[in-house]
Amino acid sequence: MTLSISRIRAVLVAVLLGLAVSGCGYNKIPTLEEQAKAKWADVQNNYQRRADLIPNLVATVQGYAKQEKDVLTSVVEARAKATQVKIDASQLTDPAKLKQFQDAQNQLSGALGRLLAVSENYPDLKSNQNFLALQSQLEGTENRITVARRDYIEAVRAYNTELKTFPGLLWASTFFRANKPMAEFAASSNAQTPPQVKF
């Protein structure tokens, strides 16, 4: 009889301990980390979508604006560079890697902006249905990138805050010592400069 009571006590203690651990935030750090990694995957997915649209856009413009080789070449080169710079979820704690990725994407954004500006000089191109469809898809993708980046920034903020505040700080300093704060996107250096409008 005493053996079964001790077993019951042990089971009860184990159940209570399990409930206490599950309710005290132990799972919050890994949960927030996985959410941030998932948001990063969304960011990468949208950048890949943009990279996939670019060859079709360049080919369409190329048919109309053959003399704009410099602009077309800069877009192709920027796309190649942007697709070569990869950062996986394990590198999200390295701000230098994230900055390198962000710089390559910003360079591609600038080249695309110049390409779309060139299209203004070609009325036939501007009315081409393929070009209009590609331009619309590209604009939609840019909006998706903005939303995905915002969601990633928020997920990283929640994760980094959990690592630095109580009770997450206790878990981070004991069981999750290997977890480091993740790097966030920063605005590009020219984001503070208002665009120049000429009439």
Task: Please tell me the predicted confidence (pLDDT) of residue 154.
Answer: 97
What average pLDDT score do residues 11-21 get? Answer: 72
Residue whose tokens read 């077309």: 72
How many other C-beta atoms are found inside a 10 Å radius of the C-beta of residue 142? 13
First to last CA, the chain: 94
- The pLDDT-based confidence of 197 (bands split at 50, 70, 90) is very low
DSSP code of residue 176: T
Note the pLDDT tens digit of each residue in 155-196: 999 999 999 998 898 889 998 999 999 998 877 766 555 545
Residue whose tokens read 């230098």: 96
Identify the CA nearest to 187 among candidates 159, 158, 146, 151.
Answer: 146
Percentage of the chain exceeding pLDDT 90: 53
The domain locations on the chain are 33-188
Mean pLDDT of the chain: 86
Task: Please tell me the predicted confidence (pLDDT) of residue 101.
Answer: 94
Task: Please tell me the predicted confidence (pLDDT) of residue 186.
Answer: 77
Rounded to whole angstroms, the Cα distance separating 125 from 147 reads: 29
Note the CATH number of domain 33-188.
Answer: 1.20.1440.20
Q: To 5 degrees, how large is the angle CA 8–CA 12–CA 15?
A: 140
Note the pLDDT tens digit of each residue in 65-111: 877 888 889 999 999 999 999 998 889 999 999 999 999 999 999 99
